[in-house]
Amino acid sequence: MSAQLDVLELAKALIRRVSVTPEDAGCQELIGEMLQQLGFVTEQINAYGVHNLWAWRGVDPASPAAAGTPHLMFAGHTDVVPAGPVEAWSSPPFAPTIKDGMLFGRGAADMKSSLAAMLCAVTEFVAAQPKHQGTLSFLITSDEEGEAIHGTRHAIVELARRGIRPAYCVVGEPSSS
Ligand SMILES: [Zn+2]
């Protein structure tokens, strides 16, 4: 199976989950299981019904050994904005559809395809570098499109309390200028 097929199938699997903000609808369970298989330690840092998945691999970012080793975080969200009137869509919003070489569905752009790309990239990287230096991590929330108070903001405060501070962060947002 090619990596390209993997990323498309994974994006479709996420789009099928009706994760209208602040619902996660099982997206993080799917992502968390994939990360566990790659050797990540996973934890839910949930608050007020918001699902926040924290996962890391390599050097424990809360340990003294983390000082001076690189820490790259992938950040993103599983929630989507409400789909609005179904009749306004050319295909059902939660039935991923390929048309003219493009993937359509709520969250295809913002940002389930980004999550799928991150996971496929990390899968390939870990296969090539199983004993990589430093720390790889994911911080995924289900509260970005709504109030966005109990999502990344909440989790990053908890991580900071543990002394965890990533040096680099890749954010999968398509919509930021
Ligand atoms: Zn977004």
Q: What phi, psi does 63 have (nearest 5°)? A: -95, 160
- Looking at 79, 110, 143, 145, which residue is catalytic? 79
The whole-number pLDDT of residue 176 equals: 67
Q: What would the mean pLDDT of 135-151 be, rounded to a whole number?
A: 95
Question: What confidence tier does 1 reach under pLDDT thresholds 50, 70, 90?
Answer: very low
Q: How far is the CA of 161 from the centre of ligand 1 (A)?
A: 26
Which domains, and CATH codes, for the chain? 3-171 (3.40.630.10)
pLDDT at 148 over 80: yes
Is residue 29 flagged as an active site residue?
no
6 is catalytic: no
pTM as predicted: 0.94
Distance 47 CA to ligand 1 centre (A): 19
pLDDT, greater one: 75 or 4: 75
- Which one from 23, 110, 143, 144 is the annotated catalytic residue? 144
Q: Calculate the CA dihedral of residues 176, 32, 39, 61 and round it to 10 degrees.
A: 60
